[in-house]
């Protein structure tokens, strides 16, 4: 995957980058191969080839929808005769019982694609929903909620898309985006000053340097070394307040480590400009959704 692939803005929807078609197809094909194996034996042996179905994807709880384009691609790759009609857009808020899309066509194709399509929508909608809650928690403070690289292997571009759909911002997509000097880098490099100096001498002037700081002493060294961003990691409230006071006006202030919906507002109000929240992608619960077939002769 190239940087251009993962940052594609082709056909952008609602202000966030669209998912590149090539990556969607690649991910869906891999997911279908994982699920289908040698074929959908249940559907093939119980459902007549000529059977048709009208199915509704329904949200069973309130949340923010994300992943509908991937669901549509899933049905299309299993059977292009399946027609998918979205009844909302990624980024829309839904209530329990809301129909988010309708699939019409051969019943076999819809059944075989069902779980994979739901998995994508449930996972991404869960991330978008949790992100939107964090965004609301810091509303009015000017702070940004951003994600991390704590993503499901192979699905990072989709999970970061879901964060954007939920109103958050994307941190680094990968190790090539920016310099982020963390605790192990500091040990291996021989200290913060040495690490920052080496990085500054090697990177283009447009690339930023962030230094993770666990203590006030590390913060002082990072500020003296000229870090663009200081990441205040896992500090208690008292230490964090002192750190923000020292860093204000000298570097951008990012806070990370154990941020919750209960603590986010206070951290932002204290002066943090960026709150990086790994939980957005590594701990977001899936949004409950289902695909329901209408009985023969009925249409919803």
Residue tagged active-site, from 90, 92, 233, 254: 233
C-alpha span between 162 and 158 (Å, rounded): 6
Distance CA 245, CA 161 (A): 33
Provide the 8-state DSSP code for 103.
E
201, 225 contact by CB (below 8 A): no
Which listed residue (40, 147, 159, 212) is catalytic? 212
DSSP conformation letters of 199-220:
HHHHS-TTS-EEEEESSHHHHH
Q: Does residue 123 have an active-site annotation?
A: no
Judge whether 37 and 282 are in contact, CB under 8 Å: no
Cα–Cα distance for residue pair 300/283, rounded to 1 Å? 34
Beta bridge partners of 292: 56
Which of 287, 288, 268 has its CA nearest to residue 277? 268
Q: Confirm whether 169 is a catalytic residue.
A: no
The residue to which tokens 């949340």 are assigned:
63
How big is the CA angle at 125 (ends 33 and 166), to the nearest 5 degrees? 135
Question: Any bridge partners for residue 253, and if so which?
Answer: 230
| Contacts of 152 by beta carbon, 8 Å cutoff, 6+ apart | 123, 159, 281
Q: Which of 115, 149, 172, 252 is catalytic?
A: 115
**Active-site residue flag, 212:** yes
Active-site pick, 52, 149, 182, 252 = 182
Residue 150 annotated as catalytic:
yes
Catalytic residue (choose from 150, 169, 172, 250): 150
Residue 233 catalytic? Answer: yes
Catalytic positions are 115, 150, 182, 212, 233
């Amino acid at each position: 995957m190239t940087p251009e692939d993962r940052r594609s803005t082709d056909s952008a929807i609602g202000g966030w980058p669209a998912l590149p078609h090539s990556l969607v197809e690649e991910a869906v094909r891999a997911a279908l191969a994982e699920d289908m194996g040698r074929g959908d034996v249940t559907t093939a042996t119980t459902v007549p080839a000529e059977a048709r179905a009208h199915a509704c994807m329904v949200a069973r709880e309130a949340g923010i929808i994300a992943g509908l384009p991937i669901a549509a691609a899933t049905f299309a790759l299993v059977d292009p005769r399946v027609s998918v009609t979205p009844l909302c857009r990624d980024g829309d808020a839904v209530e329990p019982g809301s129909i988010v899309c309708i699939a019409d066509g051969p019943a076999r194709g819809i059944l075989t694609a069902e779980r994979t399509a739901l998995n994508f929508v449930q996972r991404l909608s869960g991330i978008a929903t949790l992100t939107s809650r964090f965004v609301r928690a810091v509303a009015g403070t000017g702070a940004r909620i951003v994600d991390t690289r704590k993503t499901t292997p192979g699905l990072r571009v989709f999970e970061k898309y879901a964060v954007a759909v939920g109103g958050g911002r994307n941190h680094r997509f990968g190790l090539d985006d920016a310099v982020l000097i963390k605790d192990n880098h500091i040990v291996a490099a021989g200290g913060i000053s040495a690490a920052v100096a080496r990085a500054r001498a090697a990177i283009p002037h447009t690339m930023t340097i962030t230094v993770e700081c666990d203590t006030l002493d590390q913060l002082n060294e990072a500020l003296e070394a000229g870090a663009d961003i200081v990441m205040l990691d896992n500090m208690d409230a008292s230490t964090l307040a002192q750190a923000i006071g020292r860093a204000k006006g000298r570097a951008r202030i990012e806070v990370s480590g154990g941020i919750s919906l209960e603590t986010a507002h206070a951290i932002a109000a204290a002066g943090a400009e960026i709150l990086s929240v790994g939980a957005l992608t590594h701990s977001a619960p899936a949004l409950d959704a289902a695909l329901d077939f209408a009985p023969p002769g009925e249409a919803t």
